[in-house]
Chain A
Amino acid sequence: MSPFRRPRPAPDQVTGPVGATGGAQAPDAPMIHARGLVKRFGDFTAVNGIDVDVARGESFGFLGPNGAGKSSTMRMIGCVSQPTGGVLRILGMDPRRQGTGIRARLGVCPQQDSLDPELSVKENLVSYARFFGIPRRVAKAKADELLEFVQLTERADSKVEPLSGGMKRRLTIARALVNDPDIVLLDEPTTGLDPQARHLVWERLFRLKQQGVTLVLTTHYMDEAEQLCDRLVVMDGGKIVAEDSPRALIERYSTREVVELRFGAASLEDMAGKLAGLGERIEVLPDRILLYAFDGDEAAEAVTGRGLTPSGTLVRRSTLEDVFLHLTGRTLVD
């Protein structure tokens, strides 16, 4: 049973006009369209002129270290923060004037839990649905449907507090779906969850994606981005430094494979000198050397061919993490 009826019915508006422009949007028009988008807080520029287009049904990711401007961008898209400059259109509407109408068609899963501990699991969904002007009876049916979807039916009457982190996150995702949103915004959806809980959340989000829901997420987990995103941008210092599909980014900014070499107690700088010329690029980390090459096994053989004997050799496929660290540097950002 799918909790999503498509085409979705016109949402009940609580307040304000929903703007005819939103409803009459051309089917191929971007769901989110930003040009030169800027957000400043006093002297600090959090988002420094970014261009973004997200198509209907797409899964789009914002990646970047802390302070890169991801959350500020998400808040502007969520219409709880006014852009300082540039153009922003969401579902064809202008957040400066039509915030209420836009928010009626978004689902937001914030980074920090904001569930109401004074309400039961189900009441959390029903009360939230009422904020969208959804009639009480419909809201209750919708809540049951969504609890089924996020596998919390048995906890419907439980209080929120005893739920595990993963359950709370699933409940928050369910809450973001009460209005059959056109776009679901997920700010670091699996941060702080244990591996099982993360996989369950990914699996549910993947189901949404299959049902054609447009997902926009921020993350700094590279595996999450590779799992969920059709396309992503890497942000650093408020700017977009790269944009493409995960596969294409790996091809462009990394090699197909990576050889990780460990040399026990030997000086890695010396070893790097002896490796010069092998692969396409060499990077020295505190504990190992990364050798970027198209064919990892061939490169590893070449290493031993030079008479070097690493204490450990690991050949792996290149990941988004290699791209990310290459683009945003290995310096710790707090």
Chain B
Amino acid sequence: MAAVLSVLETDLMAYRRTWRASVLSSFVLPTLFVLGFGLSVGSFVDRGGQLGPVHYLDFIVPGMLASTALQVAFGESSFPVFSKFEWIRTYHAMVATPLRVVDILGGDLLFLLLRLLTTTVVFLAVTSAFHAVHSWWAIAVLPVAGLLGIAVAAPIFAFAARVDQDGYFPMLMRFVVIPMSLFAGVFFPIDRLPEVLRWLAYISPLWHAVVLCRAATLPGFGVSVLTAVGHLAYLAAWAGAGFWLALRAFRRRLVI
């Protein structure tokens, strides 16, 4: 465990230089979401009465929260990981020390987890200020956002360790991350989608996290314990499989 923590420590040492900008943007982002989508788009949606008595702002805040976790996970797992193999080569330096590949991977994922948790806490604070959070259960979004982040980031760690050029990441963003954000129930309930697209939402980890986050912050969207466990298990399966793939990819790259 000390080995994993020493890797986390190095990530934090580097983060010390950029934390201000990063924390600032984690305040600015939810504020813009609330103003841009929640209040302005929301005023049209609420007038149409599509969501019944539920305000659109309240509806999208938990979805936005999950999709922000997805963005952070993508940001910390694509270019930074590729760079540590190809450009700055710090993974190659680390593997020459007593650290094992699993320690390196574990340390970086732990750092990502911290980033996810701080971003989510700030998101909750900002949206609460706009009265968009309606239950103390909202605290439960913290582990959900963390689990979603790992579920998404771990497979991207594996991907970043296997590709030979960084041009794949904008494609991953365009063809996977953005469509996932659009069609996984963040902006509208997926029962409005044709069946094919609905199945894509079911497959994506994001939808499962959105359902859980919405259940936590919005009374009336609650789920049974069994359903909640099912969603969590699905996310955990992504995280576990992703970790296994990442470990294999890292070993192949570093210990040959």
Interface size class of B (residues with CB under 8 A): 20 to 34
A51 at the interface (CB under 8 A from B): no
Docked-complex contact B96 and A78, CB < 8 angstroms: yes
Docked-complex contact B98 and A103, CB < 8 angstroms: yes
Docked-complex contact A131 and B14, CB < 8 angstroms: no
Chain B facing A: main interface SS: helix
Docked-complex contact B90 and A131, CB < 8 angstroms: no
Docked-complex contact A128 and B93, CB < 8 angstroms: yes
Docked-complex contact B97 and A80, CB < 8 angstroms: no
A146 at the interface (CB under 8 A from B): no
Docked-complex contact A82 and B255, CB < 8 angstroms: yes
The CB with the most chain A CB atoms within 10 A, among B90, B98, B103, is that of: B98
- CA of A101 to CA of B100, assembled, Å: 11
Pick the contact of B98 from A16, A114, A117, A123 — CB < 8 Å? A16
Docked-complex contact B255 and A130, CB < 8 angstroms: no
The CB with the most chain B CB atoms within 10 A, among A100, A114, A126, A175, is that of: A114
Docked-complex contact A114 and B93, CB < 8 angstroms: yes
Docked-complex contact B10 and A130, CB < 8 angstroms: yes
Residues on A with C-beta less than 8 A from B100 are 15-16, 100
Q: Considering only CB atoms, which chain A residue lies closest to B87 in the complex?
A: A117
Residues on A with C-beta less than 8 A from B93 are 110, 114-116, 128, 175
- CA of A44 to CA of B233, assembled, Å: 44
Docked-complex contact B10 and A15, CB < 8 angstroms: no
Contact with B along A102-129 (1 / 0, CB 8 A): 0110101010111111110001001110
Docked-complex contact A118 and B14, CB < 8 angstroms: yes
A206 CB → nearest B CB, Å: 23
Pick the contact of A131 from B17, B92, B98 — CB < 8 Å? B98
A interface residues, Cβ below 8 angstroms from B = 13-16, 41, 75, 78, 80-82, 100-101, 103-104, 106, 108, 110, 112-119, 123, 126-128, 130-133, 175
User: With A14-B3, A123-B13 known to touch, is A106 a contact of B256 (CB < 8 Å)?
Assistant: no
B interface residues, Cβ below 8 angstroms from A = 2-3, 6-7, 9-10, 13-14, 17, 88-90, 92-100, 103, 254-256
User: With A116-B10, A130-B9, A133-B98 known to touch, is A80 a contact of B255 (CB < 8 Å)?
Assistant: yes
Residues on B with C-beta less than 8 A from A112 are 89, 92
Docked-complex contact A131 and B89, CB < 8 angstroms: no
- CA of A14 to CA of B10, assembled, Å: 15
Residues on A with C-beta less than 8 A from B98 are 13-16, 100-101, 103-104, 131-133
- CA of A106 to CA of B89, assembled, Å: 19
Pick the contact of A81 from B2, B9, B90, B256 — CB < 8 Å? B256
- CA of A131 to CA of B107, assembled, Å: 11
User: With A104-B98, A119-B14, A123-B13 known to touch, is A80 a contact of B88 (CB < 8 Å)?
Assistant: no
- CA of A246 to CA of B13, assembled, Å: 45
Docked-complex contact B6 and A133, CB < 8 angstroms: yes
Residues on A with C-beta less than 8 A from B254 are 80
B14 CB → nearest A CB, Å: 4
Docked-complex contact A127 and B96, CB < 8 angstroms: no
The contact sample of 14 A-B pairs, CB cut-off 8 A, is A13-B98, A14-B3, A15-B3, A80-B96, A82-B255, A100-B100, A106-B96, A114-B90, A116-B90, A118-B14, A118-B17, A118-B88, A133-B98, A175-B93
Docked-complex contact B3 and A127, CB < 8 angstroms: no
Q: Considering only CB atoms, which chain B residue lies closest to A15 in the complex?
A: B3
Docked-complex contact A133 and B2, CB < 8 angstroms: yes
- CA of A113 to CA of B256, assembled, Å: 19
Residues on B with C-beta less than 8 A from A108 are 96
- CA of A78 to CA of B3, assembled, Å: 19
